[in-house]
Structure 1
């Protein structure tokens, strides 16, 4: 029997995707941050779930974050193709077909939400579903291309993981988890605006109204500094409100002071510094800041429990 050769249209639809390409669709670096902050929220909760359920819940939250990333890459494939930072992603590079990414993201969304609901509780599942919807629809499809406040409002999506982790453990939402939410929420604008300062050409080519392209570099630098003045005291709130020890308070205050210092360097950055060294330094420090704050809070919780000290 003669083999039937595929038609030209069928050949066009063939995918060259590898497992690594699908992993890249999940935005693993973003996912790792989501997993860590959700884990901190879960461990900080007064009720700890069974270890097996805790692992499954974290995996479900990770899958939900990955689903959001896949849906984001599917919708943003057109602008990713013209940005140097994203042109090599699987869809614009032609390794994954858009329909495959969409199906992958939708299936993963449903599986992650259902798994979290069945094995943890439906409040956590509802929060995860809302987070996926907020990131994929509200931020990616609407805010990102329509307003320079896209990061400010859209940052809520990335701030929900500690609340979801807390809810997965307790079935409730508390002021402690909301404070962790606020830390990430206020951290997001200066973190991404620092990136936008030295990648403004990319965003301009893609037609994305990031703050430097709309309000200008000077206004963006001022707003970054204002947000640094907000994030510094909010990072200390767990200690100030009695949810963490003085040790955490000292570490968070030092990290916050560092954030303000780096933001100040951006504020007074010479206009002729086209290499944007200060903005790049702030971007790098902001990652260290967020990891340091949550690591310090996690350590404080674990030490407090081990020695029976006051705190969460």
Structure 2
């Protein structure tokens, strides 16, 4: 599981930071990529990476401000031109369906793959045997959601040596045990998975927030997260400006991470008023409250290791 930042700026594209888009790479887990927001030129940013648009399975839109959605119609169209055939599901606030369907209709864009658009409310918006995605409204000028992606606990390591000692040879039985299936051998011996698996591997939690003021919903979404990605449009001391524009400061992002018990914080949605030299100062500000803080940059990748 890896986070890859395609765009990390606020408001408008800048030379050092494109507007928001974040890829959650789940290549080992499910052979796919989930995208969070698609600001203008997201598909251009992808061209400079190893990301294949055809692997994009789901797209989660936090809110409908242009710097988070202007790249979406082009990305959807290009995925079709580049041979993508599998279904894509796009999740986001009310109004998203009209935006996408109108853009594709007016431009007479035909997609060669199924596209499903889900306009969400608060609560669990997706669940399968691997992941749960929970969405909560934040505090922004328009409806803006944060997403909590929870990986379900995975079976522990197969104790192969112990199975061999019990008379089980490598093969289909090993696979069944790994999948948690009780097996009866030819001699009547019953092999119970719990006896031949190590402790369950705890699933990882990633929280990706849309634009927001400091709020309780952000803290709830970030509870015990392995990685919290929180906007920090402004530096400390600019709390009034942040409040007026429905955004957060470095200190406020760090306070959310601290109160939520997150393990790691990464600041993003950085205003272009801060040049490259100032970025480290923003990190230091946040570290005054939450030590394990980093700052996103375009094309930065963060690995989230197994527990």
Common topology (TM > 0.5): no
TM-score, with normalisation over the residues of structure 1?
Answer: 0.32
TM-score, with normalisation over the residues of structure 2?
Answer: 0.33
